């Protein structure tokens, strides 16, 4: 069985698109082949800056012959029906067979499809793949109409065989497939003829191309860490940068250089960000001081001077960049030190936050007021919380953050300290955006928590007020993230915070609270708590107090996992059903007046006794918000309830007895519903 | 070409290289523009089916980049070298790399990289895909395949190269301070540096751009240019005097260029708020779109008479 080798050779493919493109190539080609009956045993996909490669092993020589039998109309059916059948099956009338069926004679069409040679199928599938490739962004070039991520130059498509490779006959928009590729653009220019995957990979390596992105990334990381280690230093790990850099080179050559002394005092975040964003350099750190002292760059070639020219050029560029950074840093420090950041705070009045929600200064004023209000509930000093909020956004107009927006907050901390604010306030400035994602660290310092909560609640209530809510996949203002941030802040700090108090308009409040509840469900689902358990707790009073809500939900989820819990739930449901039916039928509510003196059986009396004993315990536990204890007490009711239903006919003939029993059931219902709305639990 | 010694050697080397490669070597457009792309030889000629090939230096102005001549690498007036070829030839990357060799960059010693950078000009209603070209980590050119200009799909597609001449020359000549870089050969009877030529003017323009330019007048100029552009294009295509079909796309486009520059000046004066900014950019884009539509009605734009 032959193999198949495909390479699409183009001008430089953006690094961020390469991995996905290699997978898409594999997916589309293999799907197409398999659909056409051409199976294979193994597939490998690779990408470099200039090529996407797919290598298949064990591809069938040709697709198997197939025979399909289709049952048609009865013999003697109207011509129209028969003609329709012939069209659908693609056969002529004389080719139909007549066979006996249960209901008489029936036409059968036997459709033979001869297998086709692999080359023919591959050509079709590859052309379709190229023409419909799902690039995130594609383009045309020259006078052609084909779209590709950048101009496509060559198609290599061969079926390697023992007696030499068969070139698949294929031409797409003037590009004819062949068995030729090219090596490294600078180190080994020129055409390379290949006969199969092993030959291809080996020849490419000789032509200074490492085909496998993993191999390039590993080589880069190994060389970088060894080089740093030899100098007594360590590379700052950056997975994203590593895979990007591996996508920028075909022949990685790692070079390490020193950062100019003059810039070593810049904050490490500035050095790292500037080097990563502008130059795609790794940062190299002194493990003893934590200071970043060197950089690592990855060139795409070897040179006669062992990279000396390249390294000195990179160093010059870095110095020019860092000169800018140092200039911003010094200017910013001056504003922080001499003017206590006031010019920035004033300038926020000129920065629009959102056309309908005013400027950043308006927003800061709202956040400051809210942070002050929240402070007591989170154990923060109200003055500190308000002060931190007032300066939290100031760094947005600093020169450094203008240049590197991702340093917002981080720079604010430096500037706040420089302006003489306390560490707690400076930390709150740095942390008030957090948590940004589901795995981002949640602030715990009280001032940070107050400002972070205020920032997010203001954002949510603001966008709710102007009716800019997330819809479907659209969430341009990251409101889902903000809500999740509030949830995580509240839960991980165990805060008792009735959220509704901070929502302005009652009309929006319930909608916004529902939004919070939706996010909470998603959050708890990851914890393994079922949505119906959460619904049962959401239906209870105080559901804007997320800590209480989650405590209840966790206790209920745990309870329902026990035998007692599951059986009690069934007992409750039975009681509730009987009651509901009786209430509907009688048009009254049975909720009061059950009296043990009308009890006729021991089981009834036992249930009365159990309810009398556990009722106060449950109430006390609920008062103490000890849901675990409340449910433990509920569990004590399980046996008497089961016994009651076993022995007692609720709908007794005697009305007094029946009413009494219904009222007794209502005691069960009320006790249970005080704990959680069990009617919402499924199953 | 031997190793360049000064700024003008780089320009001369690029001009002769691209002349050799078959481009018409044009002169700068005689208007204030923010970038070489604004030259009608790029913006308008990228439209329609007619083949085109040109290279030129374009003095460009970005008022907000003024530093009174004090910055080693920022000037409000600077030079771009621009190449545009339509349809983009299949060996455009190779041609480009040849131009780097022509200005003394030995690709055997340097690390040349094509790093994704998509180009978009909101005022021109234009975008394209391509790269910024890095030499040892430094961006030395923009390389773009135009996909759309003035809201029209480009077919065929033009390949566009833009060299930032100061930065490129500083790198090739080994100067960290652009003002110290020789403009003409250092052994000339009267050697001049880049700073000798431009530093004084930079200070003057920075003062005018930032503090003195009269904003009322500029706002009026913007409105005037906008109105004139629309008026020119509203004129019937058939000229009553000559009886010929004359669509005045380029005179109208001059007004669009003017509006764009006036907008940049207003921006430097700090009188345009964030929200207004978008509105102004939209107004300039509307003008360039109208001009692009009109150009397609001309013979040069492929209109059959």
CB atoms within 10 A of CB A31: 12
What residues of chain A lie within 8 A of the CB of B135, using their CB? Answer: 313
What residues of chain A lie within 8 A of the CB of B107, using their CB? Answer: 186
Answer yes or no: are the C-beta atoms of A33 and A159 closer than 8 Å: no
User: What's the CATH number where A198 sits?
Assistant: 3.30.70
Percentage of residues of chain B with pLDDT beyond 70:
99
Closest chain B residue to A148, measured at CA: B129
Give the pLDDT score at A216.
Answer: 98
Does the CA dihedral A546-A552-A555-A558 come out positive or negative? negative
**Phi, psi dihedrals of residue B130, rounded to the nearest 5°:** 175, -140
Give the pLDDT score at A327.
Answer: 86
Q: State whether A55 and A144 are in the same domain.
A: yes
Give the pLDDT score at A351.
Answer: 81
Give the pLDDT score at A202.
Answer: 96
| Contact A260/B at CB under 8 A | no
CB contact under 8 A, A310 and B155: no
| Listed residues A178, A206, A234: the one ending a domain | A206
- Is residue B90 classed exposed, middle or buried when 0-12, 13-18 and 19+ CB atoms within 10 A define those classes? middle
Q: State whether A13 and A153 are in the same domain.
A: yes
Give the pLDDT score at A506.
Answer: 67
Closest chain B residue to A312, measured at CA: B136
For residue A480, is it within any domain? Answer: no
Domain that holds residue A670: 562-680
Mean pLDDT of the region B289-299? 96
- Number of structural domains (chain A) is 5
**Of residues A297, A309, A355, nearest to B110 (C-beta):** A309
Q: What architecture is domain B7-207? A: 2-Layer Sandwich (3.30)
pLDDT digits (tens, 9 = 90+) for A354-395: 888 888 999 999 999 999 999 999 999 999 999 999 999 999
For residue A269, is it within any domain? Answer: yes
Q: State whether A601 and A666 are in the same domain.
A: yes
For residue A475, is it within any domain? Answer: no
pLDDT digits (tens, 9 = 90+) for A7-47: 999 999 999 999 999 999 999 999 999 999 999 999 999 99
Band (B255; pLDDT cuts 50, 70, 90)? very high
Give the pLDDT score at A44.
Answer: 95
Band (B275; pLDDT cuts 50, 70, 90)? low
Q: State whether A104 and A32 are in the same domain.
A: no
For residue A493, is it within any domain? Answer: no
Give the pLDDT score at B24.
Answer: 98
Mean pLDDT of the region A136-147? 96
**CATH 3.30.930.10 domain span(s) along chain B:** 7-207
Closest CA to B149 of B297, B302, B300, B285: B285
| Listed residues A97, A113, A129: the one ending a domain | A113
**Of residues A150, A303, A352, nearest to B109 (C-beta):** A303
CB contact under 8 A, B157 and A351: no
Q: State whether A285 and A403 are in the same domain.
A: no
User: What's the CATH number where A660 sits?
Assistant: 1.10.730
Closest CA to A350 of A362, A340, A368, A366: A362
Query: How much is the pTM?
Result: 0.81
Q: State whether A27 and A146 are in the same domain.
A: yes
**CATH 1.20.58.180 domain span(s) along chain B:** 214-295
pLDDT digits (tens, 9 = 90+) for A329-345: 999 999 999 999 999 99
Q: State whether A305 and A282 are in the same domain.
A: yes
CB contact under 8 A, B275 and A355: yes
Band (A594; pLDDT cuts 50, 70, 90)? confident
Residue to test with chain A: of B73, B92, B137, most A Cβ within 10 A:
B137
Superfamily of domain B214-295 in the CATH hierarchy:
Class II aaRS and biotin synthetases; domain 2 (1.20.58.180)
Closest CA to A296 of A407, A232, A212, A220: A220
Closest chain B residue to A276, measured at CA: B137
Does the CA dihedral A578-A584-A585-A587 come out positive or negative? positive
Can you tell me the distance from the alpha carbon of A405 to that of A313, in angstroms, rounded to the nearest whole number? 27
DSSP class of residue A63 equals: P
Q: State whether A43 and A167 are in the same domain.
A: yes
Report chain A's mean pLDDT, rounded to a whole number: 92
Q: Which residue has the tokens 């009877």?
A: B189
Q: State whether A145 and A173 are in the same domain.
A: yes
Q: Which residues contact A214 (CB under 8 A, 6 or more apart)?
A: none
Q: State whether A190 and A236 are in the same domain.
A: no
For residue A523, is it within any domain? Answer: no
SS3 of residue A4 by DSSP: strand
Which token pair is B140?
A: 């030395």
For residue A500, is it within any domain? Answer: no
For residue A293, is it within any domain? Answer: yes
Q: State whether A437 and A365 are in the same domain.
A: yes
Answer yes or no: are the C-beta atoms of B137 and B125 closer than 8 Å: no
CB atoms within 10 A of CB A606: 17
Percentage of residues of chain A with pLDDT beyond 70:
99
pLDDT digits (tens, 9 = 90+) for A542-562: 888 999 999 999 999 999 888
Exposure string of B156-167, with b = 16+ CB inside 10 Å and e = fewer, is bbbbbbbbbbbb
For residue A519, is it within any domain? Answer: no
Q: State whether A135 and A239 are in the same domain.
A: no
Query: How many contacts, defined by CB atoms under 8 Å, are there between A and B?
Result: 104
pLDDT score of B1 more than 60: no
Closest CA to A126 of A175, A185, A196: A175
Give the pLDDT score at A1.
Answer: 55
| Listed residues A338, A367, A402: the one ending a domain | A338
Q: Measured at the alpha carbon of residue A661, what is the angle toward residues A658 and A666, in degrees to the nearest 5?
A: 125
């Amino acid at each position: 069985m032959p193999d198949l080798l495909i390479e699409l050779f183009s001008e430089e493919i953006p690094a961020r698109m390469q991995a996905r493109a290699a997978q898409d190539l594999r997916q589309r080609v293999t799907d197409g082949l398999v659909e056409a009956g051409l199976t294979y045993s193994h597939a490998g996909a690779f990408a470099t800056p200039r090529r996407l490669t797919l290598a298949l092993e064990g591809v069938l020589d040709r697709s198997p012959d197939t025979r399909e039998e289709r049952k048609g109309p009865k013999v003697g059916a109207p011509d129209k029906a028969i003609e329709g059948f012939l069209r659908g099956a693609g056969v002529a009338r004389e080719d139909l067979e007549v066979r006996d069926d249960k209901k008489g004679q029936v036409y059968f069409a036997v459709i033979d499809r001869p297998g086709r040679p692999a080359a023919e199928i591959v050509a079709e599938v590859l052309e379709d793949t190229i023409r419909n490739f799902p690039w995130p962004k594609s383009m045309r070039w020259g006078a052609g109409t084909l779209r590709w991520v950048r101009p496509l130059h060559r198609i290599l498509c061969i079926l390697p065989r023992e007696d030499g490779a068969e070139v698949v006959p294929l031409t797409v928009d003037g590009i004819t497939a062949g068995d030729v590729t090219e090596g490294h653009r600078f180190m080994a220019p020129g055409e390379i003829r290949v006969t199969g995957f092993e030959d291809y990979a080996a020849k490419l390596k000789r032509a200074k191309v490492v085909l496998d992105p993993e191999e390039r990334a590993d080589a880069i990381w190994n060389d970088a860490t060894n080089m740093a280690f030899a100098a007594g230093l360590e590379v700052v790990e950056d997975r994203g940068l590593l895979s990007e850099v591996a996508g920028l080179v075909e022949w990685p050559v790692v070079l390490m250089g020193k950062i100019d002394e003059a810039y070593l005092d810049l904050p490490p975040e500035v050095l790292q960000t500037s080097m990563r964003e502008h130059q795609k350099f790794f940062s190299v750190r002194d493990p003893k001081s934590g200071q970043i002292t060197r950089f690592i760059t990855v060139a795409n070639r070897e040179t006669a001077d062992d990279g000396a020219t390249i390294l000195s050029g990179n160093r010059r560029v870095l110095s020019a960049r860092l000169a800018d950074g140092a200039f911003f840093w010094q200017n910013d420090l001056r504003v922080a030190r001499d003017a206590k950041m006031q010019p920035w705070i004033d300038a926020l009045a000129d920065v629009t936050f959102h056309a309908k929600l005013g400027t950043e200064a308006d927003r800061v004023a709202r956040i400051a007021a809210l942070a002050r209000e929240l402070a007591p509930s989170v154990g923060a000093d109200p003055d500190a919380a308000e002060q931190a909020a007032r300066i939290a956004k100031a760094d947005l107009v600093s020169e450094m953050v203008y240049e590197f927006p991702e340093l917002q907050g981080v720079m604010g901390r430096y500037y706040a300290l420089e302006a003489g604010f306390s560490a707690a306030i400076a930390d709150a400035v740095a942390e008030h955006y957090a948590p940004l994602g589901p795995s981002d660290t949640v602030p715990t310092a009280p001032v940070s928590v107050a400002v972070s909560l205020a920032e997010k609640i203001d954002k949510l209530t603001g966008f709710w007020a102007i009716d800019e809510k997330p819809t479907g996949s659209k969430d341009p203002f990251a409101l889902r993230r903000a809500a999740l941030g509030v949830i995580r802040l509240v839960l991980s700090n165990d805060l008792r915070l009735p959220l509704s108090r901070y929502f302005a308009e009652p009309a929006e409040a319930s909608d916004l609270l529902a939004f919070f509840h939706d996010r909470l469900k998603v959050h708890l689902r990851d914890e393994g708590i079922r949505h119906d358990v959460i619904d049962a707790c959401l239906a209870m009073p105080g559901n804007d107090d997320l800590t209480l809500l989650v405590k209840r939900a966790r206790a209920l989820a745990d309870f329902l996992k026990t035998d007692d819990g599951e059986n009690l739930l069934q007992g409750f449901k039975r009681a509730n059903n009987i009651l509901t039916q009786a209430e509907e039928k009688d048009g009254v509510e049975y909720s009061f007046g059950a009296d043990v003196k009308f009890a006729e059986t021991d089981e009834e009396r036992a249930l009365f006794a159990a309810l009398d004993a556990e009722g106060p315990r449950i109430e006390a536990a609920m008062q103490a918000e000890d849901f675990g204890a409340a449910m433990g007490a509920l569990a004590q009711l399980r046996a008497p309830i089961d016994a009651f239903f076993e022995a007692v006919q609720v709908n007794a003939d005697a009305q007094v007895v029946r009413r009494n029993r219904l009222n007794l059931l209502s005691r069960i219902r009320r006790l249970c519903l005080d704990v959680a709305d069990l009617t919402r639990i499924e199953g | 070409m031997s190793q360049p010694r000064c700024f003008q050697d780089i320009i001369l080397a690029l001009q002769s290289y691209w002349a050799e490669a078959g481009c018409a070597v044009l002169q700068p457009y005689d208007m204030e523009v923010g970038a070489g792309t604004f030259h009608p030889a790029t913006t308008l000629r990228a439209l329609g089916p007619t083949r085109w090939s040109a290279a030129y230096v374009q003095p460009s102005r970005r008022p907000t980049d003024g530093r009174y001549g004090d910055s080693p690498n920022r000037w409000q007036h600077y030079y771009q070298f621009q190449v545009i070829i339509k349809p983009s030839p299949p060996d455009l990357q190779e041609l480009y790399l040849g131009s780097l060799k022509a200005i003394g960059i030995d690709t055997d010693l340097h690390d040349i990289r094509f790093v994704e950078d998509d180009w978009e000009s909101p005022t021109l209603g234009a975008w394209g895909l391509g790269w910024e070209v890095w030499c040892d980590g430094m961006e030395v050119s923009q390389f773009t395949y135009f996909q759309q200009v003035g809201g029209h799909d480009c077919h065929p597609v033009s390949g566009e190269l833009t060299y930032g001449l100061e930065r490129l020359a500083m790198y090739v000549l080994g100067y960290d301070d652009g003002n110290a870089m020789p403009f003409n050969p250092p052994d000339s009877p009267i050697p001049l540096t880049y700073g000798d030529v431009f530093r004084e003017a930079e200070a003057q323009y920075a003062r005018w751009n930032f503090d003195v330019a009269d904003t009322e007048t500029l706002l009026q100029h913007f409105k005037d240019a906008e109105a004139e552009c629309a008026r020119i294009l509203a004129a019937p295509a058939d000229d009553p005097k000559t009886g010929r079909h004359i669509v005045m796309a380029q005179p109208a486009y001059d007004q669009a260029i003017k509006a764009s520059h006036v907008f940049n000046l207003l921006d430097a004066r700090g009188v345009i708020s964030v929200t207004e900014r978008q509105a102004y950019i939209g107004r300039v884009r509307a003008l360039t779109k109208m001009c692009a539509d009109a150009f397609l009605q001309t013979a040069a734009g492929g209109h059959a008479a």
